[in-house]
Each structure stands twice: as structure tokens, then as C-alpha cells.
Amino acid sequence: MQELLLLKFLKLSDRAAPMLQSCGLQFYNKLNNLHCLLFILPSTTTTVQAPLVTMCSEKRTRNEERREEQDKRGEKNKTRQERRGKKRQRGEERRGEERT
């Protein structure tokens, strides 16, 4: 039979907390007002560190991809706005020439 899975609260260390919070893996424990993570762990806690890091890195890469897509959209919008601005300038210049 496989190892028993235990439900545990892990108190975050000062070093790990910011990284995990940035990945959106934070849960709040109202009983003792500690920032804790809830995980189903095997009886040995040393094997937990690797999947925890991969979960964080996967989430981070998805966020980075999303940001890159938004940046590309933003660049396209900038070039559109620049073209529109140039067209407006040309139109205003023509109108100015027609008036004189």
C-alpha cells in the first residue's frame, strides 16, 4: 500500500513567503493569524519541495507569457495611434494650406 497522505499546514519561512505569494499559492489560517500553505503531503516532507517549486515556476511562466502577449498588443496599438496621429497631422496641414 502507498504511503499515507497527510494534510498539513506549513508555516512559511521569511525567505519562501514572497516567492510563494507571488505565485498565488497563499492561504490564510484564521485560527492563529499565520500565513500558511495547505498541501497534501506524503509522510516525508523533503519530497514536497520539488513539486512546490515546479508549481511556482509553471505559474510564473504562464504569467510571463500573458504579459508578453499584452506587450505585443500594446505595441500594435501604439503603432496604430502613431499612424492615426500622422494622418491627422497631414489632414490639418492640408486644411491649413487650403485656407491660405
Please give the pLDDT value at position 4: 35
Q: How far apart are CA 64 and CA 56, in angstroms?
A: 12
Please give the pLDDT value at position 84: 86
What domain range includes position 60?
Answer: 5-99
Please give the pLDDT value at position 2: 34
Count structural domains, the chain: 1
Three-state DSSP state, 62: helix
**Between the CA of residue 53 and those of 2, 47, 49, what are the distances in Å?**
24, 11, 6
Angle at 31 between CA 26 and CA 32, to 5 degrees: 80
Please give the pLDDT value at position 68: 86
Q: What is the pLDDT along the chain (100 residues), one digit of tens a residue?
A: 233 333 333 444 545 555 555 554 444 444 444 444 444 444 444 444 444 444 555 666 777 888 888 888 888 888 888 888 888 888 888 888 777 6
